[in-house]
Amino acid sequence: MKKAVIISFLTLLCAFGYGQPAFSNLSFLQSVNVFDLYELSFQLGTYSNPYDPEVIDVFAEFVGPDGKVFKVNGFYYEGYTFQQKNDYEVASATRDNGWRVRFTPNQTGRWHFSLHAVDSKGRSTYSADNQVQFAFECKPANNAQGFISQADTRYLKREVVSNGTLKSQAFYPIGPNLAWYSYKDSKYFPKGIYDYNYYLDEMAGSVNYIRIWLSRYQYLSLYGPEYTQMKDNKPTVYFDSSLNQKDAAELDHIIEYASKKGIAVMPSIFNFGDFSNKHQSSSRWDNNPYNTVLGLKSPGQFFANRKAKRVAKNLIRYIVTRWGYATNIVCWELWNEVNSVDRGTLTEMSFHTDIVEWHSEMADYIRSIDPFEHLISTSLSTFPEKEYLGENLFKNLDIVQYHTYGNIQKAKSKEQRTRQLYEKFALYHPVYPSKPLFGGEFGFGQSTSNVKYQDKDPHGFDTHNCIWSSFFSGTMGSASFWFWDYLRDNKLLRIHEPLLNYSKNIPCLSDTFEPNTTASIFKKKLSCPNGIETYYLASAAQDTLYGWCQDTAFSYQALRRLTDKEIKDGHFVDNAKVDSKGYVYTMDKNKRPKPCSKSNGITIPISEQPVGTQYNVRWFDGETGLEIVGERTTVEVQRDWRKNQYIKIEFPSTIRDLKKHQINNAYGDAAFIIIANNGTQKESSAKSTAPNKTKTIHVKRGSNQ
């Protein structure tokens, strides 16, 4: 809690010239903790468009203890309060309207600031004088979360204060999409912030990330029709000189509440659905103010039209200005699946050129107004890596983002989603080798409308497996699952917890780590030695490996074969009757598949370390993510008669018990950390020249030990 005194001024006596912007009712805090929100509130006059800096430009300049200056834009604000009534949100406007500047200090000590406003009549500045010091004290914190930034070409990092010490730590985003909130009965009764409260409460401690949309009408959208504010049976339409302050207040709450739960947020600003008529939704081009108000004839014109770009910049400016203070913003995502926008009469090349140029221009604009230097991304629904759009879209962005879906009904082993995700992300990273890659959405499609994937996988086996496999594909985190309502309905909102627990044992990885797998495609079938599929990341020196492995009897396809009807081409009948007693429909440990082989051995190639190099192996339960301390062991590099070098590790017998011929966790999986114990090679072995990256990590004993 901020224990600071608030200083208020009814009137600021400044050396203003007549007609210049006049500040009044300024309030600010005298102290705040490092990485906490520091907010100025004040009043100005009335303007025709308070969201356009060409009409009124407001900003503050903060000078840190080291003399560095941060220019932070101000924004127009209207207050709202929320109440929960019969399971839906009731929003009420307050009289707390005015202007705000939000800032987050990143170092302790004395800060000073000045306040500025510019309009068509002149410029006003207010700063310290003999009566009032515009300053505050930034106090140290024992624990605090700072900003997220790019660590290297693959991974992200985050500044944190831990036990009073400022340091950087790895940030691997792990969590689902929560793109919008639900409705009770109809769009006139939104669950609003209370729906987000539910999800964030349920997932706290099991995820560190969510992705949300700011672009779906009647949900979180600063522009477009608002159906809770009807007039003459028509919704209020917000656009350009008016933005939806009710939704902005909702977003204030969501970002702050997520931060309290230790969860970072990726906000997506524009969405292809608003620029298309292909979907049966109020978020369509028919209802898009860029069409109905601005008068664009087709969605494709959005990217080149001068007025459209001005309006878009003002919207982006408002978002960056109001929420840029938040240390739990992962990045600004400009578009959700921009390649799915209707191009109208434009040729594909012209359309794609406009998209690329628009993104580059907006990225430069964000960098010019964001003092906190958040990362910038956008997303594609397909990855045309050998076409103009795929080759150029991300050149001026920071994070490459790709969304992928697959038909869950397919059963051929080579088509399993676990491997598909790994392969796709491992393939696409080299297209932009200097930028982190992220799977912003993944999910499971279906062939017929009357068959839902959750009916085939109510316990989330495929989701669990994909979350794990994608983490080791070389992306900056685990791929983000799309169907959050499926997780809710099947009580799977904590499905990410095992991976999050495991990831806390991984320090900041370098971009020398490359994805690997022991599985291979042989005669169009997936071949896994000893029936164990393994995915892992290995450093260039192969002295550090992080990975996950699973008995293939627990792949989704194998489980389907126990319960469903398989047709001749290796796929399942979508609407076939399913055995209700099969394993997919029960977590009964007595019905688990048996180990699919008689060996727990996993062979991992090691070519960069000499024979005899010893490795310390630690195992983690894939169902909990906690370490199995009793399975710690040591192995060494061996060489076979073909002169191939390798280490051989044993799948934990506490999970894959071959003596009793049983599996002792729900998913038949385990994760590992393998680190070379340099200096312990056999005397006859050559000394390793690889750098020692061994790090001692202490974790709590798992409940299964």
Portion of the chain with pLDDT greater than 70, in percent: 90
Average pLDDT over residues 34-48: 96
The pLDDT assigned to 216 comes to 87
Residue ending a domain, among 506, 525, 550, is 506
What CATH number has the domain bearing residue 17? 2.60.40.10
Minimum mean pLDDT range among 219-223, 371-375, 484-488, 526-530? 526-530
Average pLDDT over residues 594-608: 96
Same domain? For 194 and 76 the reply is: no
**In one letter, which amino acid is 87?**
D
CA angle 282, 286, 289 (to 5 degrees): 90
Same domain? For 13 and 96 the reply is: yes
What CATH number has the domain bearing residue 396? 3.20.20.80
The pLDDT assigned to 236 comes to 94
Alpha carbons 261 and 456: distance in angstroms, whole number:
32
Is 163 within the bounds of a domain?
yes
**Residue 290, Ramachandran bin (φ over 0: left; ψ between -120 and 50: alpha; else beta):** alpha
The pLDDT assigned to 69 comes to 97
pLDDT in tens, 534-564: 999 999 999 999 999 999 999 888 888 888 8
For residue 421, pLDDT over 50 is answered with yes
Give Cβ neighbours of residue 149 (< 8 Å, ≥ 6 apart).
Answer: 156, 157, 158, 159, 373, 375
Alpha carbons 116 and 119: distance in angstroms, whole number:
10
Between 218 and 360, whose confidence is greater? 360
Give Cβ neighbours of residue 46 (< 8 Å, ≥ 6 apart).
Answer: none
Alpha carbons 588 and 581: distance in angstroms, whole number:
10
pLDDT in tens, 461-496: 999 999 999 999 999 999 999 999 999 999 999 999
For residue 376, pLDDT over 60 is answered with yes
Same domain? For 128 and 110 the reply is: yes
For the whole model, what pTM was predicted?
A: 0.93
Is 308 within the bounds of a domain?
yes
Average pLDDT of the chain is 89
Q: Is 653 exposed, middle or buried (0-12, 13-18, 19+ CB in 10 A)?
A: middle
**In one letter, which amino acid is 249?**
A
Beta bridge partners of 64: none
Alpha carbons 345 and 301: distance in angstroms, whole number:
9
The pLDDT assigned to 447 comes to 60
CA angle 270, 276, 282 (to 5 degrees): 80
Is 242 within the bounds of a domain?
no
Same domain? For 369 and 421 the reply is: yes
The pLDDT assigned to 699 comes to 30
**In one letter, which amino acid is 280?**
Q
Average pLDDT over residues 629-633: 95
Is 346 within the bounds of a domain?
yes
Cα–Cα distances in angstroms (integers) from residue 36 to residues 32, 73, 562, 635, in the given order: 7, 18, 53, 47
Same domain? For 381 and 435 the reply is: yes
Same domain? For 352 and 444 the reply is: yes
User: What sign does the dihedral 606-609-615-619 (CA atoms) show?
Assistant: negative
Same domain? For 123 and 64 the reply is: yes
Same domain? For 105 and 198 the reply is: no
**In one letter, which amino acid is 647?**
I
The tokens 């169907």 sit on which residue?
483
For residue 81, pLDDT over 90 is answered with yes
Among 172, 282, 168, 301, residue whose Cα is nearest residue 234: 282
Among 115, 108, 160, residue whose Cα is nearest residue 139: 108
SS3 330: coil
Alpha carbons 180 and 196: distance in angstroms, whole number:
8
Alpha carbons 235 and 1: distance in angstroms, whole number:
39
Same domain? For 395 and 442 the reply is: yes
| Segment holding 563, helix H or strand E | helix 556-563
Alpha carbons 509 and 539: distance in angstroms, whole number:
9
Is 32 within the bounds of a domain?
yes
Alpha carbons 113 and 63: distance in angstroms, whole number:
6
DSSP state of 45: -
Q: What are 36's two structure tokens? A: 């906490």
The whole domain housing 370 covers: 148-216+267-506
Same domain? For 442 and 380 the reply is: yes
Q: What are 497's two structure tokens? A: 């917890």
Residue ending a domain, among 506, 532, 567, is 506
The pLDDT assigned to 129 comes to 63
Structurally, the chain folds into a number of domains equal to 2
User: What sign does the dihedral 443-447-452-454 (CA atoms) show?
Assistant: negative
Is 686 within the bounds of a domain?
no
CB 452 within 8 A of CB 502: no
Beta-strand runs (E) in 221-312: 224-231, 234-238, 264-271
Alpha carbons 463 and 556: distance in angstroms, whole number:
9
Q: Which residues of 394-404 are buried (b: 16+ CB within 10 A; e: fewer)?
A: bebbbbbbbbb
pLDDT in tens, 119-177: 999 999 888 665 567 999 999 999 999 999 999 999 999 999 999 999 999 999 999 99
Is 629 within the bounds of a domain?
no
Is 578 within the bounds of a domain?
no
Same domain? For 410 and 488 the reply is: yes
Alpha carbons 191 and 494: distance in angstroms, whole number:
21
Same domain? For 114 and 207 the reply is: no
The pLDDT assigned to 523 comes to 73
Residue 2 pLDDT class (50, 70, 90 cuts): very low
Neighbours of 201 (CB within 10 A): 11
Alpha helices in 397-483 (DSSP H): 417-428, 453-456, 461-471
The pLDDT assigned to 703 comes to 34
DSSP state of 572: B
Q: Which residues of 341-369 are buried (b: 16+ CB within 10 A; e: fewer)?
A: bebeebeeeebbbbbbebbeebbebbeeb
SS3 498: helix
pLDDT in tens, 644-681: 999 999 999 999 999 999 999 999 999 999 999 975 44
Q: Which residues of 569-585 are buried (b: 16+ CB within 10 A; e: fewer)?
A: eebbebebebeeeebbb
Residue ending a domain, among 84, 116, 141, is 141
Residue 248, CB-side half-sphere exposure with 13 Å CA sphere: 24
**Strands 56-63 and 109-119, sheet pairing:** antiparallel
pLDDT in tens, 339-358: 999 999 999 999 999 999 99
CB 648 within 8 A of CB 655: no
Neighbours of 51 (CB within 10 A): 20
> What Rg, from alpha-carbon coordinates, does the chain have?
28
Beta bridge partners of 39: 102
